[in-house]
Structure 1
């Protein structure tokens, strides 16, 4: 396993929740589990620190970074600015085949929603956002948003399961895709910003309910 493979494995374990927020990351243990050198693990942890997924502290080692609901909302606000920009560029730059691909993704999301498979729907949601960033051909927005998204993976399922949120989410994604397919830059920007603003509000409501429950 290469240094890149070690990074990919740890990144996957963090965003999937296998490595929990706050969990200590011991280089020797990780090297043994992954079958790599401690140097490869150290390099991977440095990259994950840069991604905002790991916190490295002097004389205390590394641990999985805790992202609070407040921080998650701020990340969503930053994503709203960048992804609305990207959606606008996607409307200008998408090919007919790419427009058809985005429509196929929203059709699949609609099918999953009808079947009550909300977690699978949320996973396709993430694919849709990634493809819009790729189709925009805006490399800076894509690079920054990919790092921001990694910090939010553990929150995305909490919002899609919030009462009444899933049908609204589907409608919002359909509006984004139709604006991109139509080549309407301004409408695509507005639809993406509206969607991510609504996600931020949903997360805030979920977090408030959890505080009350506790």
Structure 2
């Protein structure tokens, strides 16, 4: 089967894992997926193996695939690693960021401020990703960014619901404002602190609301 069809199957399944259509610990049936995606069962099998490498599913011989479910301890450990990496990214971004990138961040921040007041969480999430992507690009450290994105991909389905926790939306926009201010001042120490605090607060939020988020 073509690589293109494998990629289509991979994207189809991954998208449903990340947006919560496929739930943690849910069993996936290869035949059913093959019919739904209109590809062969072998293509689905290859796609599931790709997702297993990303730690989104686990595949057992003769038992099929199951959506990976993370324990609270695993999630906190991942976020602890992410906090360190994001701090490094923030420090380097403060030193390398361009005037154009700062303008882009300011525009995004203003849009995010409006969206959060309107409770437009889907759009806020999109702008949020764009905001961080600019910082990642400014850091000029693609290796660290790749590791961060791996962690974010694995935990994305949990992140999405954190904004619904009372008080989180106000805290989130405040944290992004602090990150923007530190970048505008091109202060690597303050930026590292602001970014790490952003992830630390997320970790504490997940720890205190784990049963709601899973």
Per the normalisation by structure 2, the TM-score is: 0.88
**CA positional deviation for 1:146:** 1.2
Q: Is the 8 A contact 2:17 2:157 kept in 1?
A: no
Cα shift readout 1:93-120 (whole Å, capped 9, x = no counterpart): 2222111111211111100122233453
**CA positional deviation for 1:171:** 1.0
Correspondence 1:78 to 2:81: yes
Correspondence 1:174 to 2:174: no
Indicate the residue corresponding to 2:110 in structure 1: 107
**CA positional deviation for 1:29:** 2.2
Indicate the residue corresponding to 1:67 in structure 2: 70
Q: Is the 8 A contact 1:179 1:187 kept in 2?
A: yes
1:76-155 paired onto structure 2 within 5 Å? 76-155=79-158
Q: Aligned partners of 2:207 and 2:126: how far apart in 1?
A: 21
Q: 1:41 to 1:134 in 2, by over 3 A?
A: farther
Q: 1:68 to 1:126 in 2, by over 3 A?
A: farther
Cα shift readout 1:170-193 (whole Å, capped 9, x = no counterpart): 111111122223322221111100
Correspondence 1:157 to 2:175: no
Q: 1:182 to 1:6 in 2, by over 3 A?
A: farther
Per the normalisation by structure 1, the TM-score is: 0.88
Give the alignment's Cα RMSD to 1 decimal. Answer: 2.0
Q: Aligned partners of 1:19 and 1:50: how far apart in 2?
A: 18
- In structure 1, list runs of 5 or more residues that go unmatched: none
Q: Is the 8 A contact 1:84 1:192 kept in 2?
A: yes
Q: Aligned partners of 1:196 and 1:120: how far apart in 2?
A: 20
Q: Is the 8 A contact 1:31 1:37 kept in 2?
A: yes
Correspondence 1:9 to 2:12: yes
